[in-house]
A = this chain, B = another copy of it.
Amino acid sequence: MFIESDKEVTPAVLAAMENTTDPRFKEIITALVRHLHAFAREVKLTEPEWERGIGYLAELGQRTNDTHNEAILASDAIGLSTLVCLLNNGKDGNTETAAALLGPFWRMKSPVTANGGSIVRSQTPGPALFADIQVKDAKGNPLAGVEVDVWQASPVGKYENQDETQADMNLRGKFTTSADGKISFRSVKPAGYPVPTDGPVGELLRAQKRHPFRPAHVHFLLFKSGFKTLVTQVFVDDDKHLESDAVFGVTKKLVGDFRKREDKAPAADVSGEWYSLNYTFHMEPGEAHLPTPPIK
C-alpha cells in the first residue's frame, strides 16, 4: 500500500500488523498504535517536539540499570503504573484492600525472620514501630502460611541499598503468617523521600512544578499458592504528602493507623514514644506469581 497523506498512515500500519501471531499481543500493539497516532494528531506534534520526545524516551532506558529503573519511575510519575494496578486488583476498586505499586526497591531474598522479630539489622535512629498484620481471604477467614515480604525506607527516607550507614538488608524481612493468619515485627517509623530527580523524570516534575516526594510507607508483598500475589504499600497517616504523592500511589484504604503510643512498649529497650500499626490485608483467589525484581 502506498501512503498518500497523513490520514492513510494509521490504516497502513494496522494493515501491516494484521498477521501478528499472538492474538493478545495483536490487540495490545494495535491499540497502542491507534492511541499514539491519535495523540500525535490531536496535538499536531511537530518534528522538533517528536525529536525531543524520542530523546527523552531513549534517556529513560539509558538511565535504567541494575540499581535504578527510570522507565518504571516515568510510568509511575504519569500515573500509568497506578492505573494498571487498580485495573487489575479489587472488584472495580471496591474490595477492602487495594494493591499498590511494587516500586523500584524490592529485592528478592529478604532475610527470613521469625514472627515477632525485628527487621532493624543495624543501628537505625528513629521511633520504634511495632506492626501487627492480619491476612485474610476474600471471605474474611484468616490465611495461614502466607509468605510476607516487608521492606521500607529508614526514618531519614533511605532504603538500605541507597545508604552506606545501613547494613545489607536493613529494614527488610520475610515472614510467614501463623495459623491465625498473623505476622508481627519490630521496625522503625519510615520517613517519606523524594523520588530520584537527577534524570528525565526529575526534569518532568520541575517543568510541572510538582514536588518529588512520596509519603512515608511500608511495602508488603504477600505470596501464597492459589491466591493472587498482593503487592502493596501502607502509608503513614501523619505524612503531609499523602494527598500529593509524586507517583499517585495512595488510596484511602492504604492509609495505615500508625498510632503514637506512650504506654509500655512490647520491648524492654524502648522508652518514651513509639508507634504501633495494625493492618489487615485481604487476598483474592488467583494465580500466585513473583514480579521480576526491578533491581538485582
- A-side residues, CB < 8 A to B, are 1-7, 9-10, 12-13, 16-17, 19-22, 25-29, 31-51, 54-55, 57-64, 69-72, 75, 78-88, 92-94, 204, 207-210, 242-244, 248, 250-252, 289, 291-292
Q: How many whole Å from A22's CB to the nearest CB in chain B?
A: 7
19 more A-B residue pairs beyond the given contacts A40-B83, A61-B71, with a C-beta to C-beta distance below 8 A? A2-B252, A4-B251, A9-B82, A19-B208, A20-B207, A22-B207, A28-B43, A28-B49, A29-B78, A31-B42, A35-B38, A36-B78, A37-B83, A50-B80, A51-B292, A54-B72, A54-B75, A57-B71, A62-B62
Q: Which residues of B contact A70 (CB under 8 A)?
A: 58
10 interchain residue pairs of minimum CB distance? A61-B61, A5-B93, A13-B79, A6-B86, A35-B39, A19-B209, A58-B61, A58-B71, A58-B64, A9-B83
- Shortest distance between the CB of A180 and any CB in chain B (Å): 30
Q: How many copies does the complex hold?
A: 2
Q: Is the CB of A4 within 8 A of B93?
A: yes
Tell me which residues across on chain B come within 8 A of A58, comparing CB atoms.
60-61, 64, 69-71
Q: Do the beta carbons of B248 and A16 come within 8 Å of each other? A: yes
Decide: A248 and B9 in contact? CB cutoff 8 A: yes
In this complex, the member of A207, A242, A291 whose beta carbon has the largest number of chain B beta carbons within 10 angstroms is A207
Chain B's closest residue to A242 (CB) is B2
Q: Do B244 and A3 touch (CB < 8 A)? A: no
Chain B neighbourhood of A80, CB < 8 A: 36-37, 40, 50
- 12 of the cross-chain contacts (CB-CB < 8 Å) are A3-B250, A3-B251, A9-B82, A21-B208, A35-B38, A36-B80, A37-B83, A40-B83, A47-B291, A48-B289, A59-B61, A61-B64
Contact indicator B41/A87 (Cβ below 8 Å): yes
What residues on B are CB-neighbors of A4 within 8 Å? 93, 251-252
